[in-house]
Amino acid sequence: MSNERAETPFDDDALHEECGVFGIFGHPDAGALTVLGLHALQHRGQESVGIVSYDGVQFIAERHAGLVGDAFGKNGQHAHKLKGTQALGHVRYSTTGGSFARNIQPMYADLSGGAIALAHNGNLTNAHKLREQLVRDGAIFQSTSDTEAIIHLVARSHSRQVVDRLVDALKQVEGAYSLVALTAKKLIGVRDPWGVRPLVLGDLDGAPILASETCALDIIGATYVRDIEAGELVVCTKDGIESYRPFTAQPKRFCIFEYVYFARPDSMVEGVNVYEARKRIGAELAFEAPAEADMVIPVPDSGVPAALGYASASGIPFELGIIRNHYVGRTFIEPSDPIRHLGVRLKHNPNRAKLKGKRVILVDDSIVRGTTSKKIVEMVRDAGASEVHFRIASPPTTHSCFYGVDTPNKEELLAHRMTVEEMREYICADSLAFISIDGLYRATGEVKRNAKNPQFCDACFSGDYPIDLTDVDGGRADRQLSLLAEVA
Ligand code: SF4
């Protein structure tokens, strides 16, 4: 799976993170800083961007389809509207049928006791059930986003304080979420009790920041303070930051796929540098699945750190055998048939001079449907490689994610349908190997996976789902619970 992340419809053979969040409180440039923070989080969602700021009198909302730079970069006209010292922003990747303006976060509502803007990264696993109840009780939904269900639950709470109302709402919610809310006087951040999705606390000149990843802090020169902990709720006001633990404690299950693919390699995630973790994954893979070859080449960009780790551990030279065109993106969002036919070649070109007659170890982060992997192996062979040994920096992806990552139905996942040998044959590689699940755990600093109480969420590899799948089990969803799933 190459790291194109929803840039083009002809490459949907990839997993997609659905959202990134950024909030800042008490800084004179809050709006512009939020634009920059979201720009750094663009890899977590490219379909739309929304920012809400508060200028001391009113909330100002800007929501746009497309990339942050396209919406807020050009002449800065939209960014200048975001006045005030506090702001909350969100980038998202839509999973079904395009990006509807009504679903662009943050969601905003005027409630008794004051207004609230809310954005989250993740997915509620009882969203359909909640929505049915709310609609039966008279709620009128403006969107199909499960964030709106949270807003309705906040509105119905009988507590007086906004933080208590938010807690009342979240106690009814199941799923994985890192949520940030903005009111006239507070910036609030919450991680679900399992801590599946990331959320960090930063500081810029005394102004607290909540962001999905530390790369959003780096871009504005902010300091990383700490990760928000699983089940923790923090409230930032002019008087400082308060921390609460309002939920029943659960075993922590951070998403291990953040280390493999989703997070940016320059981010620190749960105290671990993502780039180093990926290199260690490559080293483990070299140890577990060696091959005799002349060179190690990554499928760019996401396979690069693991390929470096593999090369370093095996002593086989690292080479750039595939060159990625970074400028293929939304220009081809609706490609004509002849362009669509070119597929993977629009983005990846083999470095023929390097590959001719060589035995190659090709390293990628994962195999989803297998269609892209097959084309890449074919491309490397056509360029003259004499052998292609495919090494994958994650265990076989056998199950769908229901916690905020867009994955196909499990029936479409190659590893769900085939054995490793069948997959090797399908993609036409000379050999194929995946890192073991224990090897992946070792790369993140664990000794091995604790089978009784896994240290991470690894459900897409193991089928061991830590959080109830109420909507799925109740027959309300036969696939991933999309943030955009239309409810009949
Ligand atoms: S199922 Fe996979 S992608 Fe989804 S949260 Fe768990 S580890 Fe991450």
134-172 pLDDT tens trace: 999 999 888 888 889 999 999 999 999 999 999 999 999
Bridge partners, 211 (sequence order) = 22, 200
Which residue's CA lies nearest to atom 8 of ligand 1?
255
Residue 299: φ, ψ to 5°: -85, 110
Q: Where are the alpha helices (DSSP H) in 259-351?
A: 274-288, 304-314, 337-342
Whether the per-residue pLDDT at 11 is higher than 80: the answer is no
CA 451 to each of CA 37, 323, 438, 444: distance values in angstroms, whole numbers, following the listed order: 37, 40, 10, 16
* DSSP per-residue string spanning 325-374: -TT-SGGGSS--HHHHHHGGGGTEEE-HHHHTT-EEEEEES--SSSHHHH
Q: What span, in angstroms and rounded, lies between the C-alpha atoms of 439 and 310?
A: 13
Whether the per-residue pLDDT at 118 is higher than 90: the answer is yes
For ligand 1, is residue 222 a contact (CB within 6 Å)? no
Which range among 79-83, 301-305, 429-433 shows the weakest confidence by mean pLDDT?
79-83
Q: In which region does residue 243 sit, left (phi positive, over 0), alpha (psi from -120 to 50) or beta (all else)? A: beta
* DSSP per-residue string spanning 227-243: EPPTT-EEEEETTEEEE
Q: pLDDT tens digits for 315-340?
A: 999 999 999 988 765 444 444 555 55
Q: What span, in angstroms and rounded, lies between the C-alpha atoms of 176 and 422?
A: 34
Q: What span, in angstroms and rounded, lies between the C-alpha atoms of 430 and 309?
A: 21
Q: What span, in angstroms and rounded, lies between the C-alpha atoms of 98 and 94?
A: 6
Q: What span, in angstroms and rounded, lies between the C-alpha atoms of 154 and 101?
A: 22
SS3 138: coil
If one compares 339 and 126, the residue with the highest pLDDT of the two is 126
Tell me the average pLDDT of the chain: 89
Cα dihedral across residues 449, 285, 396, 262: positive or negative: positive
Q: Which residues are catalytic?
A: 19
> What's the CA-to-centroid distance between 427 and ligand 1, angstroms?
24
Instruction: Count CB neighbours of 356 within 10 A.
Output: 12
Mean pLDDT value across residues 293-309? 96
Mean pLDDT value across residues 33-49? 94
> What's the CA-to-centroid distance between 420 and ligand 1, angstroms?
21
Triad 169, 35, 184: Cα angle to 5°: 40
Whether the per-residue pLDDT at 394 is higher than 60: the answer is yes
Q: Residue 279: exposed, middle, or buried by beta-carbon count in 10 A (0-12, 13-18, 19+)?
A: buried
For ligand 1, is residue 257 a contact (CB within 6 Å)? yes
CA 72 to each of CA 84, 86, 230, 445: distance values in angstroms, whole numbers, following the listed order: 16, 17, 32, 39
Q: What token pair was written down for 16? A: 């997609």
pTM over 0.85: yes
Strands 431-434 and 295-298, how do they pair? unpaired
> What's the CA-to-centroid distance between 257 and ligand 1, angstroms?
6
Q: Hey, what amino acid is at 79?
A: A
Q: Which among 62, 60, 68 has a CA at the least distance from the CA of 20?
A: 68
Residue with tokens 């905003």: 108
Q: What span, in angstroms and rounded, lies between the C-alpha atoms of 203 and 225?
A: 7
Q: In this predicted structure, what is the pLDDT of residue 14?
A: 66
> What's the CA-to-centroid distance between 455 and ligand 1, angstroms?
13
Asked if residues 179 and 150 have their Cβ atoms less than 8 Å apart, the reply is yes
Whether the per-residue pLDDT at 193 is higher than 80: the answer is yes
Bridge partners, 88 (sequence order) = 23, 52
Q: In this predicted structure, what is the pLDDT of residue 285?
A: 98
* DSSP per-residue string spanning 180-248: EEE-SS-EEEEE-TT--S--EEEEETTEEEEESSTHHHHTTTPEEEEEPPTT-EEEEETTEEEEE--S-
For ligand 1, is residue 173 a contact (CB within 6 Å)? no
Mean pLDDT value across residues 403-414? 90
Which range among 71-85, 127-141, 211-225, 437-451 shows the weakest confidence by mean pLDDT?
71-85
Q: In this predicted structure, what is the pLDDT of residue 396?
A: 98
- 121, 441, 458: which to mutate for ligand 1, most atoms within 8 A of CB? 458
> What's the CA-to-centroid distance between 52 and ligand 1, angstroms?
29
Q: Which ligand 1 atom sits nearest the alpha carbon of residue 400?
A: 1
Q: In this predicted structure, what is the pLDDT of residue 113?
A: 81
Residue 343: φ, ψ to 5°: 50, -125
Q: In this predicted structure, what is the pLDDT of residue 97?
A: 36
Mean pLDDT value across residues 87-116? 80
Percent of the chain having pLDDT more than 90?
Answer: 75
pLDDT grade, residue 73 (50/70/90)? confident
SS3 135: helix
Which residue's CA lies nearest to atom 2 of ligand 1?
460
SS3 463: coil
Asked if residues 189 and 397 have their Cβ atoms less than 8 Å apart, the reply is no
3-state SS track over 247-270 = CCCCCCCEECHHHHHHCCCCCEEC
pLDDT grade, residue 5 (50/70/90)? very low
Q: Which among 322, 337, 333 has a CA at the least distance from the CA of 372?
A: 322
Chain centroid offset of residue 35 CA: 18
Whether the per-residue pLDDT at 205 is higher than 90: the answer is yes
Q: What span, in angstroms and rounded, lies between the C-alpha atoms of 145 and 445?
A: 36
Q: In this predicted structure, what is the pLDDT of residue 7?
A: 37
> What's the CA-to-centroid distance between 393 and ligand 1, angstroms?
15
Q: In this predicted structure, what is the pLDDT of residue 337?
A: 54
For ligand 1, is residue 255 a contact (CB within 6 Å)? yes
SS3 456: strand
Q: Which ligand 1 atom sits nearest the alpha carbon of residue 262?
A: 3
Mean pLDDT value across residues 277-294? 98
Q: Which ligand 1 atom sits nearest the alpha carbon of residue 407?
A: 3
Q: In this predicted structure, what is the pLDDT of residue 317?
A: 98
Triad 320, 322, 328: Cα angle to 5°: 125
pLDDT grade, residue 362 (50/70/90)? very high
Q: What span, in angstroms and rounded, lies between the C-alpha atoms of 195 and 212?
A: 12
Q: In this predicted structure, what is the pLDDT of residue 334?
A: 47
For ligand 1, is residue 459 a contact (CB within 6 Å)? yes
Mean pLDDT value across residues 273-288? 98
pLDDT grade, residue 280 (50/70/90)? very high
pLDDT grade, residue 103 (50/70/90)? confident
Bridge partners, 456 (sequence order) = 254
For ligand 1, is residue 256 a contact (CB within 6 Å)? yes
Which residue's CA lies nearest to atom 5 of ligand 1?
255
Percent of the chain having pLDDT more than 70?
Answer: 88
pLDDT grade, residue 94 (50/70/90)? low
Mean pLDDT value across residues 474-483? 45
pLDDT grade, residue 75 (50/70/90)? low
